[in-house]
């Protein structure tokens, strides 16, 4: 009852402040915001200039869009939590994961919530969730040798709220990212993302920083967005989805999360002494470093997207040889995209090309810790595996060849493989992922991001902010097309001069009536460096 009363008062105060702010703010005048709230504290570790941000209201204009953000503050767990240090696993501690990822949830308004402030509701539930997931409120520290651990002292996450002058429907088609103007709903001050190719990851950029930045943006229709930027070395996609599901449950009145969180990072640490048992080509650059994709400036990249519906999947499946092992829809789509991308980039037939896949190890049997990674584990439980071959082989043989390479690579993911990766990280000082002639894919369609429900119904969209990166990686999405049929959606970046060839290759594989149309000398039109 007390919690509900506090939340009600918070909602009333928030709405009053917004009404006052609208009264003192003219559309063509300088924004004036008077903050009379001595309980709000802003840590200098979050905002570099405390004084200049204390009375801040930012206006971001983009045509008719205005997003005004209030002052960010630290949000600590609702109650005292254990004070301790918790080491990361040697899988968490990889160099490639020492950055922040960006997610966003989009919700429509709900008639029963007309007088409830979503920002206040999410804030209260977050504070409660951080009691159960208290390491997320801590700070990263580096031990001797660079090994990361979390200093758990309830320091808090960054929380901000904002108001936008648009409705959900103004954003257009939001089934798949990126949807228009989504970057306006993200808190991005002092948040470190993975750098472009050739730029080393910066350890100080994530040390002693908040592990999560959250912004709730109210829309004029009663809907809202919840954006999150999260330290990737703390949790992976499924782990993050588990946390936000818990936040939603607590917002709807649950006493505790339905899935108790499990830290247990020691289960995938390196052995003593470390002894890698696999070659791990994912961390080894090929001998010839020539790559048209990597040498193309980011501004010269163009995004291409395809959705693969039932007809396209049937066409791809028809390309498999009679008697071939059945292939999943995901394997077919990935094989098509990898092969088409390789042909479009014009690699020499003898060039080694690679498909880099992030494979979730949850649910895979192992002799360790009772059979599987335990339910509730929210650390990084995935590893990268590589399918590799010569470009001429990939593009000159049937689609089934690519499918089989993909299946074989994924089958390598066992507990032994994960321990081997952990051993390699310790033995070789956290090597970085190889990028030359590599295409990275990650299937996030089953992560569970859409299970974050705060009382306004299911999100209209929930997941990554972008489906592709200029660094050569793509996320695979699944959803429904306009006819209500299942489809898989894939976006990629390519040098601008390669997009037409990529479209031609994909369309040939998904519409041609016989195999020869899509596989006869696909490198014949190859572009030259």
Look up residue 377 and give its DSSP letter.
Answer: B
Of 156, 155, 163, nearest to 216 (Cα)? 163
Dihedral sign (CA 52, 151, 264, 433): positive
Distant-in-sequence, close-in-space partners of 199: CB < 8 Å, separation ≥ 6 = none
Confidence of residue 241 (pLDDT cuts 50, 70, 90): very high
Rounded to whole angstroms, the Cα distance separating 324 from 343 reads: 24
User: From the centroid of its chain, how far is CA 170?
Assistant: 24
What mean pLDDT value characterizes the chain? 83
Which two structure tokens, joined as six digits, stand for 99? 């950055």
H or E segment at 237? helix 237-251
pLDDT tens for 141-171 read 999 888 999 999 999 999 999 999 999 999 8
Of 223, 281, 294, 322, nearest to 417 (Cα)? 281
Rounded to whole angstroms, the Cα distance separating 317 from 305 reads: 20
**Residue carrying the six token digits 């088409």:** 340
What integer pLDDT is reported at residue 34 of this predicted model?
26
Rounded to whole angstroms, the Cα distance separating 353 from 391 reads: 6
Of 296, 306, 311, 317, nearest to 340 (Cα)? 306
- pLDDT of 368 above 50: yes
Confidence of residue 41 (pLDDT cuts 50, 70, 90): very low
Rounded to whole angstroms, the Cα distance separating 505 from 343 reads: 8
Q: Are 143 and 197 in contact (CB under 8 A)?
A: no
**Coarse DSSP helix, strand, coil percentages of the chain, rounded to the nearest 5 percent:** 35, 20, 45
Please report which residue ranges of 118-165 form alpha helices under DSSP H: 118-132
Q: Which residues is 228 bridged to in the sheet? A: 103, 214
Dihedral sign (CA 441, 442, 444, 445): positive
Rounded to whole angstroms, the Cα distance separating 31 from 22 reads: 9
Give the up-direction half-sphere exposure of residue 330: CA atoms within 13 A in the CB hemisphere: 16
pLDDT tens for 173-210 read 888 888 777 888 998 755 555 555 445 555 567 899 99
What integer pLDDT is reported at residue 145 of this predicted model?
83
Helix (H, G, I), strand (E, B) or coil at 445: coil
**Residue carrying the six token digits 């100080």:** 204
Mean pLDDT score, 107-113: 95
Rounded to whole angstroms, the Cα distance separating 382 from 93 reads: 12
More confident residue, 80 or 28: 80
- In angstroms, what is the C-alpha Rg of the chain? 24
- pLDDT of 36 above 90: no
Of 443, 440, 442, 439, nearest to 478 (Cα)? 443
Rounded to whole angstroms, the Cα distance separating 7 from 113 reads: 13
Q: What are phi and psi of 203, to 5 degrees?
A: -65, -45
- pLDDT of 116 above 70: yes
Rounded to whole angstroms, the Cα distance separating 117 from 218 reads: 8
DSSP string, 89-108: PTTTT-GGGSSEEEEEEEE-
Dihedral sign (CA 359, 365, 367, 371): positive
Confidence of residue 363 (pLDDT cuts 50, 70, 90): confident
Mean pLDDT score, 60-87: 87
Mean pLDDT score, 32-59: 31
Confidence of residue 57 (pLDDT cuts 50, 70, 90): very low
Rounded to whole angstroms, the Cα distance separating 59 from 40 reads: 21
Confidence of residue 172 (pLDDT cuts 50, 70, 90): confident
Mean pLDDT score, 488-500: 95
Whole-model pTM above 0.85? no
Of 195, 170, 196, nearest to 184 (Cα)? 170
For the chain, which domains are there?
A: 2-268 (3.30.559.10), 281-446+466-519 (3.30.559.10)
Q: Are 520 and 395 in contact (CB under 8 A)?
A: no
Region of 513 on the Ramachandran plot (φ > 0 left; ψ -120 to 50 alpha; else beta)? alpha
Rounded to whole angstroms, the Cα distance separating 295 from 486 reads: 36
pLDDT tens for 268-306 read 999 999 999 999 999 999 988 889 999 999 899 999 999
């Amino acid at each position: 009852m007390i919690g509900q009363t506090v939340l009600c008062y918070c909602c009333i105060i928030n709405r009053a402040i917004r009404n006052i702010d609208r009264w003192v703010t003219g559309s063509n005048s300088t924004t004036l915001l008077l903050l009379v709230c001595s309980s709000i504290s802003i840590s200098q570790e979050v905002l570099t200039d405390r004084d200049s941000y204390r009375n801040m209201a930012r206006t971001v204009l983009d045509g008719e869009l205005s997003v005004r953000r209030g002052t960010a503050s630290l949000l600590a767990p609702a109650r005292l939590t254990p004070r301790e240090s918790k080491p990361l696993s040697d899988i968490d501690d990889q160099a490639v994961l020492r950055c922040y990822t960006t997610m966003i949830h989009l919700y429509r308004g709900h008639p029963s919530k007309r007088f409830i402030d979503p920002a206040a509701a999410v804030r209260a539930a977050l504070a409660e969730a951080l009691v159960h997931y208290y390491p997320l409120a801590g700070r990263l520290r580096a031990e001797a040798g660079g090994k990361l651990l979390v200093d758990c002292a309830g320091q808090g996450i960054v929380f901000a709220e904002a108001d936008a002058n648009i409705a959900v429907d103004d954003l257009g088609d939001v089934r798949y990212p990126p949807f228009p103007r989504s970057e306006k709903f993200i808190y991005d001050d002092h948040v470190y993302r993975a750098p472009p190719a050739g730029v080393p990851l910066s350890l100080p950029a994530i040390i002693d920083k908040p592990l999560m930045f959250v912004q709730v943006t109210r829309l004029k229709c009663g809907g809202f967005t919840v954006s999150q930027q999260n330290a990737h070395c703390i949790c992976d996609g499924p782990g993050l989805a588990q946390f936000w599901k818990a936040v939603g449950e607590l917002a709807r009145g649950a006493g505790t999360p339905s899935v108790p969180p499990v830290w247990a990072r020691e289960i995938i640490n390196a052995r003593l002494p470390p002894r890698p048992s696999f070659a791990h080509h994912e961390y080894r650059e090929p001998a010839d470093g020539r790559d048209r994709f990597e040498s193309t400036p980011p501004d010269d990249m163009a995004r291409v997207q395809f959705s693969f519906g039932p007809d396209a999947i049937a066409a791809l499946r028809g390309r498999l040889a009679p008697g071939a092992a059945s292939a999943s829809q995901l394997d077919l789509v990935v094989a098509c995209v990898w092969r088409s991308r390789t042909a479009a980039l014009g690699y020499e037939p003898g060039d080694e090309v690679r498909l880099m896949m992030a494979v979730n190890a949850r649910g895979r049997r192992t002799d360790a810790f009772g059979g599987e990674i335990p339910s509730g584990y929210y650390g990084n439980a995935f590893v990268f595996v590589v399918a590799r071959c010569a470009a001429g082989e990939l593009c000159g043989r049937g689609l089934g060849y690519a499918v089989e390479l993909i299946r074989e690579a994924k089958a390598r993911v066992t507990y032994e493989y994960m321990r081997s990766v952990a051993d390699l990280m310790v033995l070789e000082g956290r090597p970085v992922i190889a990028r030359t002639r590599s295409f990275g894919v990650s299937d996030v369609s089953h992560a569970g991001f859409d299970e974050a429900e705060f009382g306004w119904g299911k999100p209209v969209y929930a997941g990554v902010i972008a489906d592709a990166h200029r660094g050569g990686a793509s996320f695979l999405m699944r959803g429904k097309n306009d006819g209500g049929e299942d489809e898989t959606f894939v976006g990629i970046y390519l040098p601008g001069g390669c997009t037409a060839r990529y479209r031609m290759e994909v369309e040939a594989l998904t519409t041609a009536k016989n195999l020869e149309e899509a596989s006869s000398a696909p490198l014949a039109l190859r572009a030259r460096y």
